[in-house]
Amino acid sequence: MKSRFGSLHGKVCLVTGASRGIGKGIALQLGEAGAIVYITARTLLPNETSEGSLVETAEEVELRGGRCIPVKCDHANDEDVKQLFNRIKQEQNGRLDVLVNNAYAGISDIFNNLNVPFWKLPPEFWDKTCNVGLRSHYVASVLASEMMVAARQGLIVNISSGGGIGYIFNASYGIGKSAVDRMAADCAVELRPYNVAFVSLWPGAVKTELLTEVVHSNKPGINDVVRMRRNWTGLYGLFISFIRRGWTEWLSKESPEFAGKAIIHLATDRNIMKKSGRIVWTADLANEYGYTDVDGVSPPNFRSLKVCLSLTGHTWLAAITPSFIKCPFWILAVMTHKF
């Protein structure tokens, strides 16, 4: 089946961490748009201990008329990753059009250690949160770039979050996301002469299987995920409170496939190089390209003043505020300066 939002027919894509969540949603959309989609994760077959598997994702892609190739891969193992890219190179005659770096191994550890300061966590905690999710993104980007530079075309997308601009869960999470954003910005400089784009994509409040389970659990400390800390002040504190409250109050507003629609439009945008090196938001891209989520609804844009007022309880003021008024990016840059 061809997506009505853009065709990726003949394109070769790789989505890492696609057994469930955002990665699965992206794979579904890319496959529906006509791409040959390689997907990776550590869980190949369905089992009792995992909520999703590569085979299940591939079956859903193919039910929509797409072509999906599941590859078991541990992105903490460089040899696994090299074999993955060698396989793509051999099977697709050296072609790779889109890489989506989504694999992340530390989310359970993060939610199990909320409110634990970094100096009370073992150094290995850093490896759990920043190996698969930061280093793995870099390794995959190196191998993908070798193929894309040779073809003088391609798109690399790092899946990131608002944790890239300030403290959200814990220190290692924010450091990792900030580095993921910086990776896109700096690698884009060196890739630009070869017509290869690199962006960092921020989804909004996504209703993934794991996040839904965590938010609605009664684990100690979970409420702090959505509560603004007292030591946050000014515009930055206000902005972070919008993001945190949005994860619960607006959890059902963005499907895991919404990011996939964003990537389809990025991959088919003839002017994609203008966005290379930037952070792009799923909601902003939906406004720019003119598409909605799979349910036909437009998820909230957390840069929208109307949304922010609503999330903070100012419903009457939100009702009279135009939805097109958004927080300018330069304000976010000022809020996060380190000088």
Q: How far apart are CA 331 and CA 325, in angstroms?
A: 13
The terminus-to-terminus CA distance of the chain in angstroms comes to 51
**Could you give the residue ranges of the DSSP H alpha helices within the chain?**
21-32, 54-63, 78-91, 107-111, 124-130, 136-151, 171-191, 209-215, 234-249, 258-267, 282-289, 305-311, 315-319, 329-335
Q: Residue 152: which residues within 8 A CB-CB, separation 6 or more? A: 194, 195, 196
Within 10 A of 158 (CB to CB), how many other CB atoms are there? 29
H helix or E strand, kind and range, residue 37: strand 36-41
Catalytically active residues are: 173
CB-CB contact of 146 with 95 (8 Å): no
- Residue 98, strand partner residues: 13, 155
| Vertex 267 angle, CA 266 and 271, to 5° | 65
CB 253 within 8 A of CB 208: no
